Amino acid sequence: MYKTYKFGETVQGFDIPVLNEREIRAAAGIWFTLMLIGINIVIMKTSFLFLKYLIVAFFVDFVIRVAVSPKLSPSLILGRLLVRNQTPEYVGARQKFFAWMIGVILSSVMLVLIVIMNTYSPVTGLICFACLIFLLFESAFGICIGCKLYPLIYKEKARYCPGEVCDLNMKQDIQKTSGIQLTALFLFILFIVLFVIFFNDLIIMRPHALFGK
């Protein structure tokens, strides 16, 4: 399917079609926020209405990305508007196509199970969790999990990855993690664990109004 039409944009200096990673991360952040709200509504109010609308919109958005053009994806258009003043960071379009196909598959399963069949199960819960993880890693860390799977399936190296993670470059000093930093991280986690153990009974108490009713 990838080879039947031009997927991605031609940019001077790149010999393959590319996409702007900044607008992709912005779109992922938008979807992560909306999905998190939808799932919380399900948990707090046992209402699937908002989540159902989100699933339909998510499915249509990703189908547009892979079957029509990323340029016409509503979330990517909004992402482009949000980061229009930032310098583009280019990423190879081929691995994004593969990653977004995973999104189409996951959202289509959710569409059938939750929207069409009007059901929920551990399967839908796991898929929702997986989608949140994919969107979180993309938006917050610039890590495309689907893109990581691309070379395993196609047996070829992905090109032009965000942050040049496809290239085997030596880390700069500012990127290296020292033993002191790892110790600080461990001590912080230990502090949180001990705080929960010893102060849980105090923390779980329902707050009272500071100024009365």
- Is 190's pLDDT higher than 50? yes
Q: Would you say the pTM of this structure is higher than 0.85?
A: no
- Taking alpha carbons only, the member of 146, 144, 124, 150 closest to residue 38 is 124
pLDDT score of 101: 96
Neighbouring C-alpha atoms within 13 Å toward the C-beta of 46: 0
Backbone angles phi, psi at 193, to 5 degrees: -60, -45
- Is 164's pLDDT higher than 60? yes
User: Which tokens hold the place of 156?
Assistant: 């070829």
Nearest-angstrom CA–CA distance, 125 and 110 = 10
* 77-114 tens-digit pLDDT: 999 999 999 999 999 899 999 999 999 999 999 999 99
CA gyration radius, the chain:
21
- Taking alpha carbons only, the member of 23, 183, 181, 45 closest to residue 96 is 23
Give the residue-averaged pLDDT of 178-199: 95
| Site of tokens 């189409």 | 104
pLDDT score of 208: 78
Q: In the structure, what pLDDT confidence band is assigned to residue 3 with cuts at 50, 70 and 90? A: very low
The percent of residues above 90 in pLDDT, for the chain, comes to 65
Give the residue-averaged pLDDT of 145-156: 82
Q: In the structure, what pLDDT confidence band is assigned to residue 124 with cuts at 50, 70 and 90? A: very high
Work out the end-to-end distance of the chain between its first and last CA atoms, rounded to an integer number of angstroms: 63
- Is 197's pLDDT higher than 90? yes
pLDDT score of 163: 63
* Higher-scoring residue by pLDDT: 201, 6: 201
Give the residue-averaged pLDDT of 34-41: 95
User: Which tokens hold the place of 73?
Assistant: 């994806």
Nearest-angstrom CA–CA distance, 82 and 79 = 5
